[in-house]
Amino acid sequence: MEHPAPDSKDWTWVLERPCPECHFDVASIDRNRLGALFRANAAAWRAILSRGSIVTRRPPSPDGTVVWSALEYGAHVRDVYQLFHDRVRDMLTKDGPTFRNWNQDRAAIEGRYQEEDPGRVAYRLAVTSGEVADIVDRIHGDQWNRTGARSDGSTFTVASLLDYLLHDVTHHVHDAEAGFEAIAEADAELADDLDSDGVDGDGTEGDEPPGDSMNGDELDGDE
């Protein structure tokens, strides 16, 4: 199976200005509601991952690049919650820790995200997001200002790391919903093309009289 190109973007800029794609704005975040926002995000993912077989479909993209399915995004978010839970825990218990490297693209390939069960992914995502929310609910005072760093030198406070996490999991809800829209549009275009070619939804020629098909080898709509 083909995989998306590795994401090499540095998304730390979302801590300074609104995201034009998902409209996340760190300035609008109420720190006292962070825990509730993470729990609400898990509920949004539960709804996304319960939409049936469409969650396993990779949406088309205008430039032909491979895009993750909603299921793959959900599995990624599940793992991101676990990763950031561990990072925040280290920041609260250690002085200036350096985070271990994590390659999200390798994790998706080695973890076979596309083959996972959506219900199990939704459950584990809810558990890990809940663990993050529980930690957030207990943070107080100067703990928000404790620091940690990525191996690339980017330094975060507990507050900014959690803002970064909230954008990531929120943005991927936007990605999944955009994927559903792209799939629906592609399906509608295909249906229009079939109609313009005189083919009914059951795969037969629309102008033929009932019971008088051109040959016996036509496929019906269940194939």
Contacts 24+ apart (CB under 8 A), 22-27: 22/167, 22/170, 22/171, 22/173, 22/174, 24/166, 24/167, 24/170, 24/171, 26/163, 26/167
> By residue range, what is the domain housing residue 47?
33-191
Q: What is the pLDDT of residue 180?
A: 97
Assess if residue 78 is contained within a domain. yes
Q: Which backbone phi and psi does 30 adopt, to 5 degrees?
A: -90, 115
Assess if residue 23 is contained within a domain. no
Q: What is the largest CA-CA distance in the chain?
A: 80
Q: What is the pLDDT of residue 67?
A: 94
Token pair recorded at residue 28:
């609008």
Position of tokens 């898990």? 42
Assess if residue 18 is contained within a domain. no
Q: What is the pLDDT of residue 213?
A: 38
Query: For the segment 28-71, what is each residue's pLDDT rounded down to a tens digit?
Result: 999 999 999 999 999 999 999 999 999 999 999 888 889 999 99
Assess if residue 146 is contained within a domain. yes
Report pTM. 0.83
Residues of the chain predicted below pLDDT 50 = 208-223
Q: What is the pLDDT of residue 198?
A: 62
Q: What is the pLDDT of residue 190?
A: 83
